[in-house]
Chains A and B, each alone.
Chain A
Amino acid sequence: MAEMREITFREAVNEALREEMRRDPRILILGEDILPGGGVFGVHGGLDEEFPGRLLQTPIAEAGFVGMGVGAALAGGPVICEVMFADFMTVCMDEIINQAAKFRYMSGGQASVPLIVRAPCGMGRGVGAQHTQSFEALFAHIPGLKVAIPGTPAAAKGLLKSALRGDDPVVFLEYKGLYAMRGPVSDDPELLAEFGRGSVERPGRDVTLVASGTMLHKGLEVAAELAADGVDIEVIDPRCAAPIDHELILASVERTTRLVVADESVLECSLASEIAATVAERGFYSLDAPVRRVASPRMPKPFSPKLEPASLPQKADIAAAIREVLA
């Protein structure tokens, strides 16, 4: 019988990798520093021991090893490339955008590229502007890519397993702030999460809050606090930036008539912007208030502990936006 356990986001990623590597002997993992301690964020713990020769620790060469991931995926079977920080994906943009995302199309459907590029993303502590970026909107803009931004351990496990059983290139972004977070996860190795399906993490009647990544948890805390004031907030984890679960969001807004969207990424051209635009286009007559977006201001992430908070949406920003749409 399948059982629900409380495990961390990191353990959920590890469990997805372990279960799928047991199931599919073709799965390979390439990445930098992935062997000592299971990698910089420790998600590969114990895998090298169980699957010797299938975790390939690469030189510092993102364009090289992600390009090889494309080739190995084309030549048959899923490949995971771990890029140590999402920021380093800028070094292998050709491989992801021009190669992985285009091969099925350019070849008229001959080719499949089951390449999963996993990368920790988002705010860190004292690591400055080159180890903290959120790129979900950047990749969501590219046809041919699927983009996951799981907000919970269950979403991380289910989506990663789906990615590994699918035939499409996936950019799999893991918010660093979530790795230690615990949540209920099934131990059923056949339980997958569908790409493009969001999840209602807290049902509510008064306001729809679509919150991704770390904002999901800030949003849930805000929802719990505002519940004391009699405000009933529905919190949705979109889980994927491509495809986006517009139907779930539109159906929720139809009931609540108010929408706030919260992302950690920079506001302009963000996932929040895309969701807000779609609701404005398709759900305008459901709305009783203008849509509000809460996202990072248009600045590189600063270094100093006194500057960092200014670069990131805080709970107070989400609460203020919610009060505004209710006013």
Chain B
Amino acid sequence: MTTASGDNAARALHLDLYRMMTRIRAFEEAALYESGRGNVYGPLHACIGQEAIPAGLAPLLRPTDYVTSTHRGHGHALAKGADPQGMMAELFGRADGICRGKGGSQHIADFSVGMLGANGIVGAGYGIAAGAALRIRQAGRDDVSVVFFGDGAMARGTLHEVANICVLWKLPVLFVCEHNGFAQWVPSSENLCTDAVAGLMAGYGMPSRQVDGTDALAMHGCAAGFIADMRAGGGPAFIDARANRFHGHNSMDAQAYRSRDDVSRLRAEADPLALFRAATAAAGVLAAADMDPLDAAAEAEMRAAAEAALAGPWPDPADAWEDILAPRKAHAHG
């Protein structure tokens, strides 16, 4: 970028990418802290180490686009614009949670921003994202549908069924594999017959690329091209986003399957926030003085979200009976 407006655009993009990464990190840190204090009911699947993937896509997505997510879904929800206080209250099982305390961490959803839900079933998001994409095309819209999933979910048969249909019907679905190397506790090498999953998906005839998923700029650049093609009428594409899961499968995982040294090395070498700070500083776009306030703001935002959520009301036990079926409508009946 050589022009002043180009410099400004780059600076704005870098600020957006870093702000979202540090917000996701701060949300997860605050949630883990509250989990440790006993305030999060049930398991918590933190996405620390994978923040660059949703953050890279966030500036490309509109409220009318759709996202389907996984059990590790807080980052996707924030990237799509969900409210952190409502999310935090949901983790705490409160009445003012984003899902009124009915879903919890693994089912966080915000339909008002097109976030069609985290999902407790691995590999369930493919069909839902593709169905939303079908709706987009039937309505003549130029929106897109993004399905996030882990490399563990690539072992599911639903991927084949849906990828086949998406290519046949040219649906605007961006498949984003968050390739963190583990299917819960099992290394990818024991879960998938190949490491070259982009090659696998290219076999369906969809553009497929492996990207460094710890590099928010690389994620953004790759997804920008694919999404622009889809908005212009193109079909599905696949990103193999390589990143790492710094925490266990969830907050109850003792991680007997890997050593502390492995995790320390990942934190030292593959932290997407640290890598971004170094890269943007080296490129002369952002300096520490630009990013430190974003860290502080994110930490303050998520602490405030947690505190406000902790002050929120518990649901009335009778609320358990609501939202099972739609409220009855008046119809002419025979």
Chain A contact residues, CB within 8 Å of chain B: 28, 53-54, 56, 58-59, 61, 63-77, 79, 94-95, 98-99, 103-112, 143-144, 146, 154, 158, 162, 165-168, 186, 188, 190-194, 197
* Closest A residue by C-beta to B319: A108
Shortest CB-to-CB span from B89 to chain A, Å, is 11
B127-151 CB contact bits vs A (8 Å, 1 = yes)? 1111111111010000001000000
Say yes or no: B131 contacts A69, CB within 8 Å: yes
* Closest A residue by C-beta to B133: A71
Question: Which residues of chain A are within 8 angstroms of B35 by Cβ–Cβ distance?
Answer: none
Question: Which residues of chain A are within 8 angstroms of B110 by Cβ–Cβ distance?
Answer: 110
In the bound complex, how far is the Cα of B122 from the Cα of A94, in angstroms?
10
Shortest CB-to-CB span from A143 to chain B, Å, is 6
Say yes or no: A58 contacts B103, CB within 8 Å: no
Question: Which residues of chain B are within 8 angstroms of A154 by Cβ–Cβ distance?
Answer: 334
Can you report 17 residue pairs joining A to B where beta carbons are below 8 Å apart?
A59-B168, A63-B161, A67-B128, A71-B116, A72-B132, A95-B127, A99-B128, A106-B109, A106-B117, A107-B107, A107-B109, A107-B111, A108-B323, A109-B100, A112-B326, A158-B333, A191-B333
Q: Say whether B164 faces chain A, with CB atoms less than 8 Å apart.
A: yes
User: Given A71-B132, A144-B324, A106 and B334 touching (CB < 8 A)?
Assistant: no
Say yes or no: B326 contacts A108, CB within 8 Å: no
Say yes or no: A68 contacts B168, CB within 8 Å: no
| B residues 112-129 in Cβ contact with A at 8 Å | 112, 116-117, 119-121, 124, 126-129
User: Given A68-B130, A73-B131, A98-B124, A107 and B117 touching (CB < 8 A)?
Assistant: yes
* Closest A residue by C-beta to B157: A63
Say yes or no: B161 contacts A64, CB within 8 Å: yes
Shortest CB-to-CB span from A79 to chain B, Å, is 8
User: Given A71-B127, A71-B134, A190 and B332 touching (CB < 8 A)?
Assistant: yes
Say yes or no: B135 contacts A192, CB within 8 Å: no
* Closest B residue by C-beta to A169: B325
Shortest CB-to-CB span from B236 to chain A, Å, is 13
In the bound complex, how far is the Cα of B131 from the Cα of A103, in angstroms?
15
In the bound complex, how far is the Cα of B66 from the Cα of A178, in angstroms?
41
Q: Say whether B101 faces chain A, with CB atoms less than 8 Å apart.
A: yes
Say yes or no: B66 contacts A75, CB within 8 Å: yes
Say yes or no: A105 contacts B102, CB within 8 Å: yes
Q: Say whether B60 faces chain A, with CB atoms less than 8 Å apart.
A: no
In the bound complex, how far is the Cα of B333 from the Cα of A61, in angstroms?
36
Shortest CB-to-CB span from A37 to chain B, Å, is 22
* Closest B residue by C-beta to A70: B128
Say yes or no: B124 contacts A104, CB within 8 Å: no
Question: Which residues of chain A are within 8 angstroms of B165 by Cβ–Cβ distance?
Answer: 58-59, 61, 64-65, 68
* Closest B residue by C-beta to A192: B331
The one of A63, A77, A104 in contact with B135, judged by C-beta atoms closer than 8 angstroms, is: A77
In the bound complex, how far is the Cα of B165 from the Cα of A106, in angstroms?
28
* Closest B residue by C-beta to A167: B326
Say yes or no: A72 contacts B134, CB within 8 Å: yes
In the bound complex, how far is the Cα of B101 from the Cα of A72, in angstroms?
25
Q: Say whether B91 faces chain A, with CB atoms less than 8 Å apart.
A: no
Say yes or no: B131 contacts A104, CB within 8 Å: no
* Closest A residue by C-beta to B102: A108
Say yes or no: A68 contacts B66, CB within 8 Å: no
In this complex, how many residues of chain B approach chain A with their Cβ under 8 Å: the count is: 51
Q: Say whether B213 faces chain A, with CB atoms less than 8 Å apart.
A: no
Q: Say whether B190 faces chain A, with CB atoms less than 8 Å apart.
A: no
Say yes or no: B130 contacts A75, CB within 8 Å: no
In the bound complex, how far is the Cα of B117 from the Cα of A150, in angstroms?
34
Shortest CB-to-CB span from B225 to chain A, Å, is 24
Which residue of B66, B133, B138, B145 has the most chain A CB atoms within 10 A of its CB atom?
B138
User: Given A68-B130, A71-B135, A168 and B325 touching (CB < 8 A)?
Assistant: yes
Say yes or no: A111 contacts B109, CB within 8 Å: yes
Say yes or no: A110 contacts B333, CB within 8 Å: no
Q: Say whether B309 faces chain A, with CB atoms less than 8 Å apart.
A: no
Say yes or no: A186 contacts B334, CB within 8 Å: yes
Given contacts A74-B132, A158-B334, 12 further A-B contacts (CB under 8 A): A64-B130, A66-B127, A68-B134, A71-B129, A71-B133, A72-B135, A75-B132, A107-B102, A108-B100, A109-B323, A111-B109, A168-B325
Q: Say whether B181 faces chain A, with CB atoms less than 8 Å apart.
A: no
Question: Which residues of chain A are within 8 angstroms of B331 by Cβ–Cβ distance?
Answer: 162, 165, 192, 194
Shortest CB-to-CB span from B130 to chain A, Å, is 5
Say yes or no: B325 contacts A98, CB within 8 Å: no
Say yes or no: A143 contacts B116, CB within 8 Å: no
The one of B120, B129, B332 in contact with A192, judged by C-beta atoms closer than 8 angstroms, is: B332
Say yes or no: A68 contacts B109, CB within 8 Å: no
Which residue of A99, A154, A167, A193 has the most chain B CB atoms within 10 A of its CB atom?
A99
Q: Say whether B316 faces chain A, with CB atoms less than 8 Å apart.
A: no
In the bound complex, how far is the Cα of B331 from the Cα of A193, in angstroms?
9
Shortest CB-to-CB span from A81 to chain B, Å, is 10
Question: Which residues of chain B are within 8 angstroms of A108 by Cβ–Cβ distance?
Answer: 97-103, 323
Question: Which residues of chain A are within 8 angstroms of B136 by Cβ–Cβ distance?
Answer: 75
In the bound complex, how far is the Cα of B85 from the Cα of A247, in angstroms?
45
User: Given A67-B162, A71-B128, A110-B109, A192 and B157 touching (CB < 8 A)?
Assistant: no
* Closest A residue by C-beta to B145: A71
The one of B66, B97, B324, B333 in contact with A104, judged by C-beta atoms closer than 8 angstroms, is: B324
Say yes or no: B127 contacts A68, CB within 8 Å: yes
In the bound complex, how far is the Cα of B168 from the Cα of A75, in angstroms?
21
Say yes or no: A70 contacts B100, CB within 8 Å: no
Say yes or no: A106 contacts B99, CB within 8 Å: yes
In the bound complex, how far is the Cα of B168 from the Cα of A61, in angstroms?
13
